[in-house]
Each structure stands twice: as structure tokens, then as C-alpha cells.
Amino acid sequence: MKPAEAATARLPSTWLLLALIALLPLMNPPVRYPVVAVDLVFVLLALALGLELASGRRRLPWDPCWAVLAAYVVALVPSLIATSNMSQSLFKLATEVFLVGLTIVTVMVTHSPTVFRRAVLTWLIATALMCLVGMVGLIGFAIDPQGPIYQYTSFHFGTLPPGHYPRMEMTFLNANMACNYLTVSVGLLFVAWSQGWLKDHLALALLAAFVVASAFTISPGIGGIALAVGAGLFVLRGSRIALAIGIAIALAFLVAVWLTPIPHSTATFAFRVPGTAIILEPAGRFLTGAAGWREFLAHPLVGHGIGIDAVFVHYADPSGTMQELTDAHNMFLNIAPQAGIVGLVGLLVLIGYAARLTIADGASFKGNVDMDV
């Protein structure tokens, strides 16, 4: 490690970022505090970073992603002219600025390859601990499903049929968030594996733990897990079979979350699968997705205001509860009704830029990272 890089790796902002990454999964702590730990650490991180820049201990390297992130936020601003609740929209816009700021700070601090390596490994350790909490929760379910151990890690059935089986959010606010986090963890696991930061046996053990934990979220995001595993094995081992299986499972989950064989009173149509006795009706995500599309068509240019509920749909879930769904359960169909074509273009540019970086930098990055922690 070069002396300048070593000095950067020891700065307070570096350790605060690692602390933030470690605390990120703890969205539902067992003991409630008035201040969210991750938010507090971010404030300290921003202050430390500002002091380091002012004192010259850290330089400010330009990164093109900052312009792309800023363009995304700017693309949401025109929706303010159409909002029915300015304070609510401004608050939502502020949260988007916060998330963009978090991304920019992360890029700045992890500019050093050594710090990037530490950040990835910290993320994987935090994920492993979250999976351990999930394992304890499963043991709690086996002992007493109504006991405090399982109840802390559990999540309600939602659009799933009720029954005697565990569905878990672990340390997150809901099961879908946990599964999305695990999808990112799988991707970072393959990054670490490809760089030789993890031995094969440890990488395989972590991959198995992540996949098993995601299975107990019983979330549509499991399709994303399958795709991430397939893509990772394709890049790492050249396995086209793994990639094909991952794509097939992801497509199967896409269909499964849009259609359901469980009849409900809020269905807008029904059809029989040819050659079978199976009758399918639109699931909750189909109803919200269709509503999101209709709302987008009603407000195509700048939407009806960022932060205003994307949709409002009544859905009778399999438990017999009438749910009021205000989220389209789809990133594009959430942004499109709220921010229109302008906001959607900003989102697509951001995704396209990230995809280009992933493809272009993946091969060149391999082997270029200092192995000294």
C-alpha cells in the first residue's frame, strides 16, 4: 500500500463509512432509540469528510457519476409544479438528495482500492451476521412461533396464503427489503470472490447462507437472487447453464408475482390456463402496476408530484384483509406516475450509466486491488 493511500485509509471518515456499512442492515433494532444509528453515523461521516477536505487531508477527486446523480435529482424537480402537497413532495425530494449524497460520499471515501476492499468485506460480514440472526429466528420458530425470538425476525404473510411456515424480515423493516439487500450482498460476494479476497470454501459457505436466508423472505426478490447467482457464476466460471437457470427463475418469479391462483374479490379479470383446471387472477402487484401505468398516462410529462402516493388500490389478500396499496411495487411504475417522463428519463440515465460502468470496469478491475487490508 502506498503511503498516501495508507494515510487515507486511516482517516476518520473511512472508519465512519465502515461503521455505517456495518450498521446498515440494522433497520429494526431490538431496542428502539429516538435517533436512527445509521443516520447519526452519516451526519458524523459528512462532518468528518468536510473537515478532512478543508484541512487538505483528503482531496476531492472528480467522478462523472456525480453529474449523473445530480441530473437524476434535477429530473425530479419539475414534478413539484404538479404536486397536491408541496411539503410532502419537498420532504421526499430531500430524501432523494440524502440518498444521492450518501452515494457521493461513498464514492469519495472508497476511491482508494484498499478502502473499497474493506468496505466490501465489511458489507459481507454484516450480511453474514444478519443471516445468523435469521438462523436464530428459524430456531425460535421451531420452538415457539409466538415467542419473542421468532416474532422479532418475522414478517406477515402479505399477499401469500397464511399457513404454518416462517416468513422473515430478519433485521429489516420488511421481508422484501431484506431480500433486496441480500441481492446486493450476492453481487458483492462475487466481486470479493473474483478478486481473491475470499477463499473458495468461505465464498461458497457465504453464498449458501445468503441464498438460504433469501429463501425464507419468500419475496419476489428471490428471482433477483437467482439472476445474481447465475450472472456471478457466468462471469466467474463461465457457466452459461447457471446464467440460463438464473434468467429462467427470475422470469418465473416475474410471472408468479403478477398472477395468482388464489381467487379474490378485487380481481379485475380471470382466465384458465390452457389444458389445465388452473384459474389465474391478477395478484396485488399486477393491480398496482396497472394502476401505476394508468396514473402515468394521466400525468405523462412531470407526473402528479414526487412523494405523492403513486397509486391507490384496494386488494383483498389471501388472509381476507382488505389492503390499501399505495406503492406500485415497481421502481419504474413508481417514478413514472410521480415524476412523469422527465423523472423516468433521469432514472433510466442513472441505471444505464451504472450498467455501463459494471460492464466496462468489471474486467479491468480484476487483479488491480492491493491485497493488504
CB atoms within 10 A of CB 70: 14
At residue 1, the pLDDT reads 60
In order, the DSSP letters of 291-310 are HHHHHHHHSTTT-S-TTS-S
At residue 371, the pLDDT reads 39
CB atoms within 10 A of CB 53: 14
pLDDT tens string, the chain, 373 residues long: the values are 666 666 777 889 999 999 999 999 998 887 766 667 888 898 999 999 999 989 988 887 778 888 999 999 999 999 999 999 999 999 999 999 988 988 888 988 988 888 999 999 999 999 999 999 999 999 999 999 999 999 999 998 888 888 999 999 999 999 999 999 999 999 999 999 999 999 999 999 999 999 999 999 999 999 999 999 999 999 888 899 999 999 999 999 988 889 989 899 999 999 998 989 999 999 999 999 999 999 999 999 999 999 999 999 999 988 888 999 999 988 999 999 999 999 999 999 999 998 888 776 555 444 444 434 3
At residue 28, the pLDDT reads 85
Of 132, 242, 118, 248, give the one whose Cα is nearest residue 188.
118
CB atoms within 10 A of CB 99: 13
CB atoms within 10 A of CB 239: 15
Q: How many CA atoms lie within 13 A of 198 on its CB side?
A: 22
Is 253 within 8 Å of 273 (Cβ atoms)? no
Write the single-letter amino acid at 167. R
The burial class, CB within 10 Å (0-12 / 13-18 / 19+), for 4 is exposed
At residue 38, the pLDDT reads 85
> Cα dist. 212→170, 209, 216 in Å?
13, 5, 7
**Which residues touch 84 (CB under 8 Å, ≥6 apart)?**
304, 305, 308
Is 373 within 8 Å of 118 (Cβ atoms)? yes
